[in-house]
Amino acid sequence: MQKALILNGPNLNLLGTRQPEVYGSTTLKMVEDLCLNHGKSIGLEVACFQSNHEGALIDAIHAAKGVQDGIVLNAGAYTHTSIALMDAIASVELPVVEVHLSNIHAREEFRHTSYIAHVAVGQICGFGAQGYVLALDALTAHLKDRVSE
Ligand code: CA2
């Protein structure tokens, strides 16, 4: 069975508790359960991790090499700042699908830049919690395409 890591960055532990008009009312636990259940339905083993610390996210990316087949990453605000996260993704050579709850391109200009996008297979944004399900499907399709190439 193929495996995917759902990796969430800073402040996403607060999901569903504040700013529901921007990020929805779904909690992180609900997002993770959604991913675990969707994984089961498509034959993908899903693991989840969240951290508010850049180094811990980098460690999780490094640890995924040889264990996971791909990563669904919402790097939160580190998306717009972290060359270190971008380098970590490039170093492990695992497919990463970037996900955001909000449409970062329709928000403040500083959110339009994503360092993650440089090294991701693709980006899904603006679909709220459902974006994680779409990202798992996209990752699965990408992994299948790679096998048959
Ligand atoms: O839309 C997304 O998923 C973001 O990655 C969320 C980040 C933001 O900095 C990115 O530009 C876009 C912020 C996550 C903060 O999440 C909170 C959730 C509830 C209450 C407060 C913050």
Residue nearest to atom 5 of ligand 1 (CA): 76
Q: Is 23 a catalytic residue?
A: yes
CA–CA dist 134, 35 (Å, integer): 10
Among 12, 74, 130, say which to mutate for ligand 1: greatest number of ligand atoms within 8 Å of CB.
12
The number of the ligand 1 atom at minimal distance from the alpha carbon of 19 is 20
Give the mean pLDDT of 58-81: 98
Pairs from 90-94 (Cβ < 8 Å, separation ≥ 24): 90/119, 91/62, 92/61, 92/62, 92/64, 92/65, 93/65, 94/61, 94/64, 94/65, 94/68, 94/69, 94/70
- Whichever domain contains 118, its CATH number is 3.40.50.9100
| Catalytic position from the list 38, 78, 80, 100 | 100
| DSSP H helix total and E strand total for the chain | 5, 5
SS3 for 122?
strand
Residues 6+ apart with CB under 8 A from 58: 84, 85, 88
Structure tokens at 29: 């636990």
pLDDT at 132: 98
Q: Is 38 a catalytic residue?
A: no
Q: What is the pLDDT of residues 13-68, one digit of tens each?
A: 999 998 888 888 999 999 999 999 999 999 999 999 999 999 999 999 999 999 99
Token pair 């759902």 in the structure block, residue:
6
Global pTM exceeds 0.95: yes
Q: Which domain holds residue 103?
A: 2-148
pLDDT at 147: 64
Q: What is the pLDDT of residues 95-139, one digit of tens each?
A: 999 999 999 999 999 999 999 999 999 999 999 999 999 999 999
Count of structural domains within the chain: 1
Distance from residue 131's CA to the centre of ligand 1 (Å): 13
